Chains A and B, each alone.
Chain A
Amino acid sequence: MKRIIVIMGLLLGFSSCSRQEVRQLEFQKLPEDMAEMQKRIIGQLSGKYELAKNVRLSSRWLPEERELSRAYFKAIVSQLHLIPIEQDYQHSNINFGVDLLIEPFKGTNIYTILPATIKSASYIVLGAHYDSGRRNAPGAIDNATGVTLIYSIVKKLQKLNYRSQNVILVFFDQEEEENVGSKEFIKLINKNNWNITSVHCFDMIGWDGDNDNAIEIYTASESLENHYISLANSIEKPILNVSINPVNYANNSTDFDEFVRSGFNVIGAGECVYHGDSTPYKDTAKDTFETVNFEYLLSSTTFIETAIKNLLNNK
């Protein structure tokens, strides 16, 4: 019995020491052309293309895969000449029974701040989660599309001569596991006492089965709802709306829900999940690059970019 315990102890020691550090990776520079850039990012995050030399992701589910994804995000944020910041966190489990059995959630959000062109203490948050929902689910639509969309928008916003507010770009970790990343980011917002004027969350925005080019929004904020709808109407972009009642709000399926519960002025947007036009391959191995409708993604990017630009133009 003693020998078994000693052997177990040794094995435990070896397994604890055997963690490999993410080696220094070299990432390619992204194309300047928006459409090409979006294809490249989604291709690299979903395993269509190599993420870096001899590195290809099959999903963003395992901690090692998410760590590689973060290294990639840091590299592409740096390509915008912005500073990527890691928010490491630990978060307790859903109840104390699970706490007793296992360790807390451990993850890392990556964010950056695009500063306003004038002195401003206000912030707009653009967020999307980067983890995928299952082992071997490449997560091209869920949610490489959301990540790509917010990155593309910030790249465009950077070129504006006037921005009345700071913009926070955040890639949430562990949305697929109780929205832990966004819960922790809300704690960071409160800790830093940032004045957040609006939060825009994007989850799955690459499927348009009926080719109507419609975008779906969901919000409890009348001002944001009006802002998006009036813009859509002005350019004749089909828009479908889901009104949310924030009182006793119990939904828990995406990062957007956490911001609603915390009382933020938040809007979510994406393909028409609530109206039945959404990828059938969510959380499966078929959620691949080939299923992404890139024209739809680009069109939606342009629409949301304009919506955010209009918010930043307010003097």
Chain B
Amino acid sequence: MSALIKLLIRHRFFFITLLFSLLFFLRKAIQYALLKSYVTAFIILSIFAIIGISLVLNKKVKLTLRFWSILIIIWASVRILLFLANSFLKEISESHLHHQLFNTKGVIISASFLVAGVFLFRNSNRIYWI
């Protein structure tokens, strides 16, 4: 246990970033489950189950973390691509999309997750479960 705590402390920034990214999507899963959009919640929770099993069994941890970081990078990239398409090709007419993806907060969220995803990917090989 003390070894695990030492690991967490040594790589605290990595774990905080990982935890934050997981919590963000956990909130999304709960939010959509409450709205009875169960497919969305199921997809997120299935990915969480894969990550959880890997961490608990201490198997394929590096691969799992890379898998998660790649998913985050894809998620952020799609949002950024939509932002670019909206800015330079054709404006999307839906206020709902516009408000979430193309305002300052939406762009910061997308950029933050892109950076976080790259950070997690680059550092996933340094983290070993003990």
Chain A residues close to B by CB (< 8 Å): 1-2, 4-5, 8-9, 11-12, 15-16, 61-63, 90-93, 96, 99-106, 131, 133-135, 174, 176-177, 283
Kindly state whether residue B23 has any CB partner on chain A within 8 Å: no
Complex Cα distance, B17 from A92, in Å, reads: 27
CB <8 Å contact, A9 and B32: no
CB <8 Å contact, A103 and B100: yes
CB <8 Å contact, B40 and A12: no
From residue B74, how far is it (CB to closest CB) to chain A in Å? Answer: 10
CB <8 Å contact, B118 and A1: yes
Complex Cα distance, B99 from A103, in Å, reads: 10
By a CB distance below 8 angstroms, the chain B residues around A96 are 37, 39-40, 43
Q: Report the count of interface residues on B (CB-CB < 8 A).
A: 38
Beyond A8-B111, A61-B95, A135-B91, is A2–B40 a contact (Cβ under 8 Å)? no
Interface set, chain B 50-107, CB cutoff 8 A to A = 75, 78-79, 82, 91, 93-101, 104-105
Complex Cα distance, B103 from A12, in Å, reads: 12
By a CB distance below 8 angstroms, the chain B residues around A174 are 95-96
Kindly state whether residue B46 has any CB partner on chain A within 8 Å: no
Kindly state whether residue B4 has any CB partner on chain A within 8 Å: no
Kindly state whether residue B15 has any CB partner on chain A within 8 Å: no
Beyond A62-B99, A105-B96, A131-B95, is A100–B112 a contact (Cβ under 8 Å)? no
By a CB distance below 8 angstroms, the chain B residues around A133 are 93
CB <8 Å contact, B39 and A91: no
Complex Cα distance, B16 from A2, in Å, reads: 11
Kindly state whether residue B125 has any CB partner on chain A within 8 Å: no
From residue A202, how far is it (CB to closest CB) to chain B in Å? Answer: 22
Beyond A1-B122, A2-B13, A61-B95, is A99–B108 a contact (Cβ under 8 Å)? no
Complex Cα distance, B105 from A134, in Å, reads: 21
Interface contacts (Cβ under 8 Å), in number, total 93
Residue from the list A8, A103, A104 in contact with B108, Cβ < 8 A: A8
Beyond A1-B115, A8-B108, is A91–B95 a contact (Cβ under 8 Å)? no
CB <8 Å contact, A12 and B36: no
Complex Cα distance, B112 from A102, in Å, reads: 15
Complex Cα distance, B39 from A106, in Å, reads: 20
Beyond A5-B115, A102-B97, is A92–B37 a contact (Cβ under 8 Å)? yes
CB <8 Å contact, A104 and B32: yes
CB <8 Å contact, B119 and A63: no
Give 8 A-B contacts (CB < 8 Å), ordered by A residue: A12-B108, A92-B32, A99-B28, A99-B37, A102-B101, A104-B31, A176-B94, A177-B95
From residue B127, how far is it (CB to closest CB) to chain A in Å? Answer: 15
Complex Cα distance, B100 from A303, in Å, reads: 42
Kindly state whether residue B5 has any CB partner on chain A within 8 Å: no
Residue from the list B35, B98, B118, B122 in contact with A92, Cβ < 8 A: B35
Complex Cα distance, B76 from A8, in Å, reads: 14
CB <8 Å contact, B119 and A1: yes
Q: Can you name the residue of chain B whose Cβ is closest to the Cβ of A133?
A: B93
By a CB distance below 8 angstroms, the chain B residues around A99 are 28, 32, 37, 39-40
CB <8 Å contact, B112 and A8: yes
Q: Can you name the residue of chain A whose Cβ is closest to the Cβ of B76?
A: A101
From residue B44, how far is it (CB to closest CB) to chain A in Å? Answer: 8
CB <8 Å contact, A101 and B122: no
CB <8 Å contact, A2 and B119: yes
CB <8 Å contact, A134 and B35: no
By a CB distance below 8 angstroms, the chain A residues around B109 are 12
CB <8 Å contact, B35 and A91: yes
CB <8 Å contact, B95 and A101: no
By a CB distance below 8 angstroms, the chain A residues around B100 are 102-103
Interface set, chain B 1-53, CB cutoff 8 A to A = 13, 17, 20, 28, 31-32, 35-37, 39-40, 43-44
